[in-house]
């Protein structure tokens, strides 16, 4: 495998493989983005382009907020673990070693590429209903859900044990805020941390394939809007009406599921695009991404891996509780994500 030598301010050059630099990631981003643009331009669905919506939020999060938190945690670790001034100085020198600085800088470059990737993903997702002419699979998927869960829509089981305002408030916060913190903090750490160098490229490749396969290809083949929009797309407002009335009781709270759902429906009904726009329920990317993270966490720690998979179960249940998804959306997302993870890992082991 070819390599590149960088001095990085050190007397010993750093030999970097194409994988370490992230060339496979840049290549996949380029192919995916070009393909997305061609598909959208060739069908005239240019209103679906959503790249610009990421140009403020993404840099603020990944180039300001997360680096600041990362530096603070690193400083606290040095202060906490080392008692002497000399020891702290050595630890600081190690943290600022050329290898660590190079990994961090390379990671920021990869995160910039991921911003482009997410813009392409959102653009494609927004275009899916335009190509399909609507959401043809909601009734079938809701009926499959009911059949698999003993003749009842699964949200009813969840509400039987957790249909209270305080449970709703927690689930809404976690799904609409906590999930983003966990998943994108993980993405940042995997991209910039020197300790993740051995798996970084594999994680990012698996991450992109999961988004493209789960969130674009399968979503496009079996396009559905989800329980929150079931009445709009099928004309049957009664089936999930009781659930949606319970969710609407959270009003205009900052993490209200109803508020976010109204935001997405506004973009869809007006034919516009924006940050996170696009409606597709099957399969669930919320579930797919936490499954991906759990699989990688389990590689390093069995205990933390078990906790990560417990979080997968929480997110899957939450997606049904908040009317974002049918339960099968989560089940299929888990199965497909595991399959992608296994295949990509085998490919990387063969070429390494």
Q: Which pLDDT score is estimated for 133?
A: 83
pLDDT at 108 over 70: yes
pLDDT-derived band at 4 (thresholds 50, 70, 90) equals very low
The total of structural domains in the chain comes to 1
pLDDT at 8 over 60: no
Query: Quick one: average pLDDT of 179-188?
Result: 96
Question: How close are the terminal C-alpha atoms of the chain, in Å?
Answer: 9
pLDDT at 41 over 80: yes
pLDDT at 13 over 50: no
DSSP 8-state code for residue 39: H
Structure tokens at 225: 């809007």
Residue 266: CB atoms within 10 A of its CB come to 12
Query: Quick one: average pLDDT of 238-253?
Result: 94
Structure tokens at 173: 């916060």
Query: Quick one: average pLDDT of 156-165?
Result: 96
Q: Which pLDDT score is estimated for 198?
A: 82
pLDDT-derived band at 20 (thresholds 50, 70, 90) equals low
Bridge partner list, 3: 17
Structural domain containing residue 211: 3-351
Q: Which pLDDT score is estimated for 6?
A: 40
| High-pLDDT (> 70) share of the chain, % | 88
Q: How far apart are CA 199 and CA 214, in angstroms?
A: 22
Residue with more model confidence, 99 or 23: 23
The contacts of residue 197 (CB under 8 Å, 6+ apart) are 20, 103
pLDDT at 39 over 50: yes
* Tens-place pLDDT, residues 280-316: 999 999 999 999 999 999 999 999 999 999 999 999 9
pLDDT at 35 over 70: yes
pLDDT at 37 over 50: yes
Query: Quick one: average pLDDT of 74-97?
Result: 64
Q: Which pLDDT score is estimated for 71?
A: 86
* Tens-place pLDDT, residues 127-141: 998 888 889 999 999
Q: Which pLDDT score is estimated for 151?
A: 97
pLDDT at 97 over 90: no
The secondary structure element, H or E, covering residue 334 is helix 327-351
Q: Which pLDDT score is estimated for 2?
A: 39
Q: Which pLDDT score is estimated for 7?
A: 38
* Tens-place pLDDT, residues 255-277: 899 999 999 998 888 877 777 77
| DSSP output for 74-102 | HHHHHHHH--SHHHHHHHHHHHTSHHHHH
Q: How far apart are CA 4 and CA 35, in angstroms?
A: 29
Query: Quick one: average pLDDT of 49-76?
Result: 90
pTM confidence score: 0.89
Query: Quick one: average pLDDT of 171-190?
Result: 96
Query: Quick one: average pLDDT of 2-11?
Result: 39
């Amino acid at each position: 495998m070819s390599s590149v030598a960088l001095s990085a301010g050190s007397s010993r050059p750093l030999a970097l493989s194409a994988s370490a630099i992230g060339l496979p990631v840049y290549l996949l981003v380029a192919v995916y983005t070009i393909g997305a643009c061609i598909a959208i331009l060739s069908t005239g669905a240019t209103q679906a382009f959503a790249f610009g919506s990421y140009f403020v939020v993404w840099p603020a999060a990944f180039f300001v907020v997360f680096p600041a938190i990362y530096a603070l945690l690193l400083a606290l670790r040095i202060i906490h673990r080392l008692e002497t001034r000399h020891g702290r100085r050595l630890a600081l020198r190690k943290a600022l070693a050329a290898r660590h600085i190079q990994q961090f800088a390379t990671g920021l470059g990869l995160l910039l590429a991921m911003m482009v990737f997410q813009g392409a993903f959102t653009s494609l997702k927004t275009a899916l209903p335009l190509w399909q002419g609507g959401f043809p699979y909601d009734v079938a998927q809701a009926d499959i859900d009911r059949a698999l869960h003993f003749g009842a829509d699964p949200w009813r089981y969840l509400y039987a044990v957790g249909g209270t305002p305080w449970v709703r408030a927690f689930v809404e916060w976690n799904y609409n805020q906590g999930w983003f913190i966990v998943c994108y903090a993980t993405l940042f750490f995997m991209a910039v941390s020197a300790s993740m160098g051995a798996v970084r490229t594999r994680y990012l490749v698996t991450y992109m394939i999961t988004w493209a396969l789960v969130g674009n290809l399968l979503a496009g083949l079996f396009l559905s809007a989800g329980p929150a929009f079931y009445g709009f797309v099928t004309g049957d407002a009664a089936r999930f009406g009781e659930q949606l009335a319970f969710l609407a009781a959270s009003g205009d709270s900052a993490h209200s599921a109803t508020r976010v759902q109204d935001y997405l429906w506004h973009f869809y009904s007006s034919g516009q695009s924006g940050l996170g726009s696009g409606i597709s329920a099957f399969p669930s990317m919320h579930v797919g991404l936490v499954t991906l993270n759990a699989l990688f966490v389990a590689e390093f720690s069995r205990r933390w891996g078990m906790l990560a998979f417990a979080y997968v179960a929480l997110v899957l249940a939450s997606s049904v509780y908040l009317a974002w998804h049918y339960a099968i959306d989560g089940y299929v997302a888990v199965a497909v994500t595991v399959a992608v993870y296994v295949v990509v890992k085998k490919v990387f082991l063969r070429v390494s």
